[in-house]
Amino acid sequence: MGCASSIHISDRVVYHSGKESEDSHSPQQTNTTQHQGNPTTLTEVQFGPMKLFKDPLQVLLVFAKEDSQSNGFCWACEKANFRCSMARTPESALECFLEKHHDLVIIDHRHSRHFDAEALCRSIRAVNSSENTVIVAVVKRPDREEASVMPLINAVGFIFFRYVENANMMACYNELLQLEHGEVRAQFKLRAGNAIFTALEQSQEAIEITSEDQVIQYVNPAYESIMGYQQGELIGKEIIEVPKSEKNKPDLLETINSCIRKGKEWQGIYYAKKKNGDSIQQNVKITPVIGQGGKIRHYVSINRPLNDNNKTDKSSERVQAESQTDIQSSKHKDRRKGSLDVRSTTSRGSDGSSQRRHSSMARIHSMTIEAPITKVINIINAAQESSPMPVAEALDRVLEILRTTELYSPQLGTKGSDPHTNDLVGGLMTDGLRRLSGNEYIFSTKQPHHLPSHLTTPLSLNDIPPRIAQTMENEDSWDFDIFNLEAATLKRPLTYLGLKIFSRFGVCEFLNCPEATLRSWLQVIEANYHSSNSYHNSTHAADVLHATAYFLCKERVKQSLDPIDEVAALIAATVHDVDHPGRTNSFLCNAGSELAILYNDTAVLESHHAALAFQITTRDDKCNIFKNIERNEYRTLRQAIIDMVLATEMTKHFEHVNKFVNSINKPLAALEENGGNNDEESVKSVLTSPENRILVKRMLIKCADISNPCRPQELCIEWAGRISEEYFAQTDEEKRQGLPVVMPVFDRNTCSIPKSQISFIDYFITDMFDAWDAFADLPNLMQHLDNNFKYWKGLDERKLHSLRPPPE
């Protein structure tokens, strides 16, 4: 018997769904006859680790006339329980094949005068479903048989056999059995192989198949999508030619190869390098495929990315770093009053148990796009299924915590009895109660959102009066006295300090704007601060700008930020409280103010500051500092400014601090502990990643915004008096208008200013500046903070409510 010259693998999958009824084999025309074998069960075929089940063989006999040879094959089909059809003409044969899609076709090629066997072969091969059909030609015994067979081979092209005529029934039977267990079964496996490859193509796991020499033979679309390669870039390449990630341990590849070359499966965590150079952590399973003679023929690698858990390799380092961070955060514990650790919050117990899990969770598990918190919840749910009841109930309490919206805000717990802390949290970290009265709060005086006429001729930096210039001589020092500048400039410190600081940082050069435009911009921004506010006025803005500039000069900050970040930070500090009405967000929401309605009671003031700053800036070319920068650069700058201004909103205070600690402080502490050759590069990676640069900028402006407790004592006391007066005025107005009193302790007749400062430092300042100091190295600030805390503590212990002790 001959063999196929080549094998073709089809993308089409053919399944036989079951035994056909007797009616389906009834003759359709006089030239076609069906012979049904005895009823049989499905045939089991082993295909690697799979068991396939096959219908009885379908055989088509094409003989022009009945003779002993055709009868021999009919008898053999019946004995083998094959389903047999007999066709007398090429037309009936083709029609029958189109209906049945036979596994085996036997054509009589002994008598060319009856029909053209070559034409029939071509017709059958033209049908898509014939690609896995085996065709056998019955040929004569004469010596010229070779000449008669070759045209048929050329016509069939592949999967072709010849049978030298032999009418003996047992010879025909043996031939059919050999075909069934040989080529027909091989073709059946190829059809199943098509189904398997279809499954591989649809799989969401990255799959790679290599030869025994580790030459890549196949990768599926999921592999292309995850790794960024096209199939054509990989097929035929040796594994060693594909770039490897440096994050794997040096001996990992050797371990894997040693395992799989012994025919053993390997499974574990492996870093692969994507085409763009990024490393991706994957759960990898590599299985050797044993072929003929027990030899390894292929390796199949199934790779599942660990998604957002790609940083888990650093978890052990971060655990080691935590002790270091804890040491840093406890440096100033002596100034705390039961200070709350924002990194470990507690929660109420849960009455519910693991019974709370519903079948609807199955839909969540099947989601392909999940938020990180959803993945965490799914992992916990899966762990609960096999956990003892006490563990399952404990995990239920964990789930209750995770499903709250305030994951980063500490619950008051130990501080619940402190009214100052409660009122500060209520006033600064909530959007207020619903309005209780019908009165709407309208700003009593609206500042003009335009360039005032008395400032239309701005001063030049070189024309600053000597007294003001002298006041600003030490503006690069942390101990710079902003109140002296306020007095010297007649409450216009922002314009003068802005001119000097922006000049020092080369802002005009970066923005490609004339100094006159910058002067006009600073003046119009300052004009839109309310000088009537005791705290939120342009002096506060100038103070925050000064702190921002000071922080930008710290070495770690300079390593992290780009020039565009520095410019964004300076502009954000300048505008961060523009048009502040001297009232908190809670007040505005309770009063149903126009701004609260406009911004849906969410980050009302911060949204207004950012929006108004850009409205003022872009409305008039005379003060448009952005008009000469490229569009994409403007968009980047604008986004950074808005993000920093919104970061000053206190409702997300603990979220920003915790993210900074976990994403920056702890990794840096771990790197400092571990050292190593790649230490400098690793530090740079932490400092300059886009996500971390955003966290640095947010932390920088947050610290600048509420840095008053870290200022020299006299400045700290003055700021404490100013913020207290603004809160007193708000409480007075709430009582007048019949609104909910957001911070009852800030009643000018009963308030203890030292207690309020102690609570503010304890709850908001200590942890944040511990983290910022660990990053930026600010020992002078921390010393001031210590001194100021002790000052307020001393007044409180003497039961004093005032800013200063009474004169001796």
The CATH number covering residue 180 comes to 3.40.50.2300
Question: Domain containing 685 — which CATH number?
Answer: 1.10.1300.10
Among residues 420, 530, 536, 609, the one annotated as catalytic is 536
Q: Which whole-number Å values give the CA distances from 403 to 23, 359, 391, 407, 803, in the listed order?
A: 63, 18, 18, 8, 43
Does the pLDDT at position 291 exceed 80?
no
538 is known to lie in a ligand binding site: yes
CA distance 650 to 432: 13
Does the pLDDT at position 22 exceed 70?
no
Place of tokens 């029909």: 115
Q: Are residues 486 and 578 in the same domain?
A: yes
454 is known to lie in a ligand binding site: no
757 is known to lie in a ligand binding site: yes
pTM summary value: 0.54
The predicted structure's pLDDT at residue 325: 37
Sequence-distant (6+) residues with CB within 8 A of 617 are 521, 623, 624, 625, 626
3-state DSSP assignment of residue 211: strand
Q: Tell me what percent of the residues of the chain surpass a pLDDT of 70.
A: 75
Of residues 680 and 624, the one with the higher pLDDT is 624
Is residue 448, in this structure, part of any structural domain at all? no
Q: Are residues 187 and 266 in the same domain?
A: no
Q: Are residues 669 and 526 in the same domain?
A: yes
Q: Which two tokens stand for residue 481?
A: 């006295």
Q: Are residues 267 and 118 in the same domain?
A: no
Give per-residue pLDDT as tens, 72-121.
Answer: 999 999 888 899 999 999 889 888 988 888 889 999 888 777 788 778 88
Domain boundary among 153, 183, 199: 199
Q: Are residues 67 and 166 in the same domain?
A: yes
The predicted structure's pLDDT at residue 215: 92
In the chain, the amino acid numbered 550 is Y
Of residues 412 and 130, the one with the higher pLDDT is 130
What is the domain count for the chain? Answer: 3
CA distance 163 to 62: 14
Q: Are residues 567 and 694 in the same domain?
A: yes
Is residue 29, in this structure, part of any structural domain at all? no
Does the pLDDT at position 418 exceed 50?
yes
Q: Are residues 255 and 183 in the same domain?
A: no
Give per-residue pLDDT as tens, 438-492.
Answer: 344 444 334 445 444 444 344 566 778 899 999 999 999 999 999 999 999 999 9
What is the chain's mean pLDDT, rounded? 79
Domain boundary among 272, 287, 305: 305
Domain boundary among 305, 328, 352: 305
Q: Residue 52 is part of which domain span? A: 43-199
Q: Are residues 590 and 636 in the same domain?
A: yes
Is residue 723, in this structure, part of any structural domain at all? yes
Q: Are residues 607 and 705 in the same domain?
A: yes
The predicted structure's pLDDT at residue 379: 82
Q: Are residues 576 and 674 in the same domain?
A: yes
The predicted structure's pLDDT at residue 55: 75
653 is known to lie in a ligand binding site: no
Q: Are residues 179 and 251 in the same domain?
A: no
476 is known to lie in a ligand binding site: no
Angle at 512 between CA 507 and CA 513, to 5 degrees: 80
DSSP assigned state of 457: S
Is residue 174, in this structure, part of any structural domain at all? yes
Q: Which whole-number Å values give the CA distances from 36 to 165, 179, 425, 503, in the listed order?
A: 24, 19, 87, 98
Is residue 24, in this structure, part of any structural domain at all? no
Give per-residue pLDDT as tens, 196-222.
Answer: 778 888 888 899 999 888 899 999 998
The backbone torsions φ and ψ at residue 189, rounded to the nearest 5 degrees and listed phi first, read -65, -35
Strand-pair partners of 77: none
- Considering 25-39, 280-294, 429-443, the range whose residues carry the highest mean pLDDT is 280-294
Is residue 394, in this structure, part of any structural domain at all? no
536 an active-site residue?
A: yes
Would you place residue 716 in the very low, low, confident or very high pLDDT band (cuts 50, 70, 90)? very high
Rg of the chain (C-alpha set): 41
Does the pLDDT at position 375 exceed 80?
no
Q: Are residues 99 and 227 in the same domain?
A: no
Is residue 481, in this structure, part of any structural domain at all? yes
CA distance 62 to 125: 15
Place of tokens 């790609």: 310
CA distance 266 to 253: 11
- CB 32, CB 96: distance < 8 Å: yes
Is residue 239, in this structure, part of any structural domain at all? yes
The predicted structure's pLDDT at residue 505: 97
Q: Strand order of the sheet with strand 266-273?
A: 216-219, 206-211, 296-305, 279-290, 266-273
- CB 524, CB 451: distance < 8 Å: yes
CA distance 205 to 307: 12
577 is known to lie in a ligand binding site: yes
